[in-house]
């Protein structure tokens, strides 16, 4: 794929809205912590480690892709490790030239390998993220994830852990095995989240059809949808998402790697933008996909058929649907010399 030069509009902030904190761990940190805690790493250097973490061929589905998290989770042996990866996430955003990001994480998923207390994971992530923002200056908001794969009972415990984070958590997401754990199992959890004042974004339409997206919007109160690939199969759903200004967190490379779409050209992002939906460009799990946000703008988006104007529209959409206050949104726009957003 030939990169599109200067695909990012310098007059707009560069924003990543769908980025998993535990899917953004440096390979060098996997080596460092693996050695520090005498873990049986599958390789002794980054080149040897890479095929065990990064996707080098298309996976037979979302859950196969998720299996690549094994070593990213295995190094989370204690709360200090969780704090470190959160801190480094913020530094990497700055190094990547990203102006604002929303990092999401499932405390239960992160805690499971070494049987940590999920509440302790939440505290460590918040502490690391706050320290990173202080030291590197990149503004970040945290989104909690309920991992549907564990079922609704565990989800209540995970929700309680996330609640302990207070105002540091701004939204709730539902991720994991979409095909076997429908959103209808979690309606009460998300009612609780909305009562807390949290916004809602849901992984939907990635491993299941349009009905999953309808349920996320009408049943869980989602104002943004992660992936949403299947929305293109239901014109009425597209009309509803446009009318309600539902944001779409598109992840082009990830969707190709999980075989959610056949190839880059088959990705629906271009069609979403042509339908005037608030679709955005994001990384998902850059450590696993082996990408940066610039790669998605300059390589993946053109490969998916987007014009430069459409890429810039997606960049603008990210500012519009970010979980920011009006004052924060205008401040972020002004930092790039953009017109304030009303």
φ, ψ of residue 18 in degrees (nearest 5): -130, 90
* Catalytic, out of 178, 206, 249, 296: 206
Catalytic (active site) residue 96: no
Half-sphere exposure of 84 (CA within 13 A, CB side): 15
CA distance 198 to 190: 9
Largest interatomic CA distance in the chain: 54
Residues identified as active-site: 206
């Amino acid at each position: 794929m030939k990169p599109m030069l200067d695909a990012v509009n310098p007059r707009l902030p560069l924003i990543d809205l769908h980025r998993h904190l535990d899917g953004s761990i440096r390979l060098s940190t996997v080596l460092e912590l693996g050695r520090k805690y005498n873990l049986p790493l599958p390789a002794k250097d980054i080149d040897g480690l890479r095929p065990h973490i990064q996707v080098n061929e298309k996976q037979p589905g979302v859950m196969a892709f998720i299996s690549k998290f094994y070593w990213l989770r295995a190094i989370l042996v204690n709360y200090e490790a969780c704090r470190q990866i959160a801190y480094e996430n913020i530094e990497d955003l700055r190094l990547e030239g990203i102006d604002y990001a929303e990092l999401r994480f499932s405390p239960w998923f992160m805690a499971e390998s070494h049987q940590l207390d999920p509440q302790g994971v939440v505290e460590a992530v918040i502490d690391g993220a706050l320290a990173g923002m202080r030291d590197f200056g990149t503004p970040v908001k945290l989104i909690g994830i309920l991992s549907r794969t564990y079922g609704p009972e565990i989800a209540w415990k995970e929700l309680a852990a996330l609640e302990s984070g207070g105002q540091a958590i701004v939204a709730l997401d539902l991720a994991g095995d979409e095909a076997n754990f429908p959103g209808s199992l979690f309606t009460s959890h998300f009612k609780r989240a909305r009562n807390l004042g949290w916004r809602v974004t849901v992984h939907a339409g990635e491993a299941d059809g349009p009905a999953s997206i309808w349920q996320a919007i009408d049943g869980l109160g989602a104002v943004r949808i992660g992936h949403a690939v299947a929305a293109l199969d239901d014109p009425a759903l597209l009309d509803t998402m446009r009318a309600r200004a539902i944001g779409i967190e598109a992840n082009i490379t990830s969707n190709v790697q999980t075989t959610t779409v056949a190839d880059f050209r088959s990705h629906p992002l271009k069609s979403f933008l042509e339908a005037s939906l608030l679709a955005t460009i994001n990384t998902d799990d850059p450590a696993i996909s082996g990408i940066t946000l610039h790669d998605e703008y300059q390589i993946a988006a053109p490969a998916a058929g987007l014009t430069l104007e459409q890429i810039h529209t997606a960049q603008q959409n990210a500012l519009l649907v970010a979980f920011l206050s009006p004052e924060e949104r205008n401040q972020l726009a002004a930092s790039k010399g953009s017109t304030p957003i009303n």
